[in-house]
């Protein structure tokens, strides 16, 4: 039988991108470019990290190793190991006085990153507006866009210690606004919000019936001050999605274990996404996190004391160099203003890297309001911090004199 031949009728289609429009619209990470540049240079002191320099305490590592040895390698419940959820509920109640039902109001996720993503996807409809401070963590905007939402940035100002103001938020609310997404203590600024500040936001959320997503991954890293859990504010638990994790407080970044806490209805919606997309967080990670909550408190306190010492040295050092920098009270970042050098934040970061081999992250990677600033992480040895400050001083002196 002869082959059937069809007349060639190539259909002219306009050239189109394989990649979805939505993903095309998200900017490439400003950090990636730097990463590639850094890879070409030796002997760099990096203040550009976003994770502790401590290794996960041994007793936590050991508990995971032991659990793997015993063959605990299967899926856990979608919600996460029940013993972990019970410890977590106790932990949140003890620290912040918030009561979450471990069976219906908690889910263990693959890092707080996943918790953030499913929280947004659970509540955002296409076109919904989400209010986000500027500057803030790199993922918030892109996650909202990927969920089909619209990002509404709220500028924050160094004059106000980079706290986000309730008035500025309220100005930007309209009938499409769905939620406010905040993360305090803040990456990149190191800012914290006191109870009174957060109450203002709570009032706005209540008045306009908004959800608040509160990313509290840095909750334990606060210095000379107390952390206020947003869900602990009067009337807020029912409209808050609380996000948290173990990465920063227990030095468990690579384990990918985090959590979300929310009223049952919202938690169920998040659970749906989580079960289809991830099934469950890493089993050995969850075992480790359980051990961390049970016996890791002393390690947390020790690490916080050390971070605090480094924070003071970094902050004072930056000021002595001649850069203006508000005093960060949380996380492990300082966010100095580098405009006195006459350089943009990108130029500053790039030249500092090439000329003095010190890596910092340009503030613009975190939002428009980050312009004129760089993020300096002090989660590194005192020796590195001191040496980095010496090199930065040389650099700043050169440029200020010009």
* Residues lying near another protein in the complex (CB under 8 A): 29, 31, 34-35, 38-39, 44, 46, 48-51, 53, 55, 137-139, 187, 224, 305, 309-310, 312-313, 316, 359, 361, 365, 382
Contact 231, 242 (CB under 8 A): yes
- Residue placing its CB nearer to another protein in the complex, 120 or 365: 365
Closest separation in Å from C-beta 331 to another protein: 12
Task: Please identify, using beta-carbon distances, which residue of 60 and 261 lies nearer to another protein.
Answer: 60
Residue 84 or 112 having the CB closest to another protein: 112
Distance between the two ends of the chain, CA-based, in angstroms? 84
The smaller minimum CB distance to another protein, of residues 49 and 65, is found at 49
| Residue among 4 and 39 whose Cβ is closer to another protein | 39
> Given phi > 0 = left and psi -120 to 50 = alpha, else beta, which region is 263?
beta
Tell me how far, at minimum, the Cβ of 309 lies from another protein, in Å: 4
DSSP annotation of 147 reads T
Exposure class string for 159-184: b at 16+ Cβ within 10 A, else e? eebbbbbbebbbeebeeebbbbbbbb
Shortest Cβ distance from residue 178 to another protein (Å)? 25
At closest approach, how far in Å is the CB of 301 from another protein? 11
φ and ψ of 229, to 5 deg: -80, 125
Distance from C-alpha of 378 to C-alpha of 47, rounded to nearest angstrom = 7
Strands 240-245 and 374-377: unpaired
Q: How far is CA 230 from CA 97, 162, 201, 236, 244, in A?
A: 11, 18, 10, 7, 12
Residue 327 Cβ vs another protein, minimum distance, rounded to whole Å: 11
Specify the residue, 150 or 313, whose C-beta has the smaller distance to another protein: 313
- What lies within 8 Å, CB to CB, of 141 at 6+ separation is 26, 132, 151, 153, 367
- The DSSP secondary structure of 189-214, one letter per residue, reads T-----HHHHHHHHHHHHHTT-EEEE
Minimum CB distance to another protein, residue 30 (Å): 9
Pair type for strands 211-215 and 240-245: parallel
Name the strand (E) or helix (H) holding 306. Answer: helix 297-321
Judged by beta carbon, residue 90 or residue 312, the one nearer another protein is: 312
The CB-of-353 to another protein minimum distance in angstroms stands at 10
Cβ 34 to another protein shortest distance, Å? 5
3-state secondary structure of 215: strand
> Residues 156, 169: contact at Cβ < 8 Å?
no
Q: Which is nearer to another protein, 51 or 268 (CB)?
A: 51
Question: Where are the extended beta strands (E) located within 65-105?
Answer: none
Residue 86: CB minimum distance to another protein, A = 31
Shortest distance (Å) from residue 305 CB to another protein: 7
Q: For another protein, which is the closer residue by CB, 208 or 312? A: 312
Of 174, 185, 158, 249, nearest to 208 (Cα)? 174
Q: Of 18 and 28, which CB lies nearer to another protein in the complex structure?
A: 28
Closest CA to 362 of 32, 26, 43: 32
């Amino acid at each position: 039988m002869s082959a059937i031949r069809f007349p060639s009728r190539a259909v002219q289609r306009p050239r189109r991108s394989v990649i979805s429009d939505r993903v095309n619209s998200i900017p490439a990470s400003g950090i990636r470019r730097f990463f590639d540049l850094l890879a070409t240079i030796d002997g760099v002191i990096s203040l550009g990290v976003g994770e502790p320099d401590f290794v996960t305490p041994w007793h936590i590592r050991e508990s995971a190793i032991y659990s793997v040895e015993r063959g605990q390698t299967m899926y856990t419940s979608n919600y996460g190991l029940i013993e972990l959820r019970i410890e977590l509920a106790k932990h949140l109640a003890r620290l912040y006085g918030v009561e979450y039902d471990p069976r219906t109001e908690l889910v263990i996720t693959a890092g707080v990153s996943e918790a953030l993503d499913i929280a947004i996807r659970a509540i955002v409809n296409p076109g919904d507006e989400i209010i986000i401070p500027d500057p803030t963590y790199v993922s918030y905007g892109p996650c909202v866009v990927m969920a089909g939402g619209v990002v509404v940035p709220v500028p924050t100002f160094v004059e106000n210690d980079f706290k986000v103001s309730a008035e500025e938020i309220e100005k930007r609310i309209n009938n499409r606004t769905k939620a406010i997404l905040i993360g305090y203590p803040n990456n990149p600024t190191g800012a914290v919000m006191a109870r009174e500040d957060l109450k203002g936001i709570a009032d706005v959320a209540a008045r306009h019936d908004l959800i608040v997503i509160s990313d509290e991954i840095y909750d334990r890293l606060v210095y000379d001050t107390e952390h206020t859990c947003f869900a602990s504010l009067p009337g807020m638990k029912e409209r808050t999605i609380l996000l948290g994790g173990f990465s920063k407080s227990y030095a468990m970044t690579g384990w990918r274990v985090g959590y979300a806490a929310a009223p049952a209805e919202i938690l169920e919606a998040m659970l749906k996404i989580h079960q289809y997309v991830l099934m469950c967080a890493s089993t050995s990670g969850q075992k480790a996190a359980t051990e961390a909550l049970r016996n890791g408190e002393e390690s947390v306190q020790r690490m916080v004391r050390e971070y605090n010492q480094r924070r003071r040295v970094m902050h004072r050092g930056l000021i002595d160099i001649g850069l203006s920098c508000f005093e960060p009270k949380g996380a492990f970042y300082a966010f100095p203003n580098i405009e006195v050098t006459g350089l943009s934040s990108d130029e500053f970061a790039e030249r500092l890297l090439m000329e003095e081999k010190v890596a910092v992250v340009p503030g613009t990677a975190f939002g428009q309001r980050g312009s004129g600033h760089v993020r300096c992480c002090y989660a590194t040895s005192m020796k590195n911090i001191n040496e980095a400050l010496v090199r930065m001083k040389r650099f700043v002196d050169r440029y200020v004199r010009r």
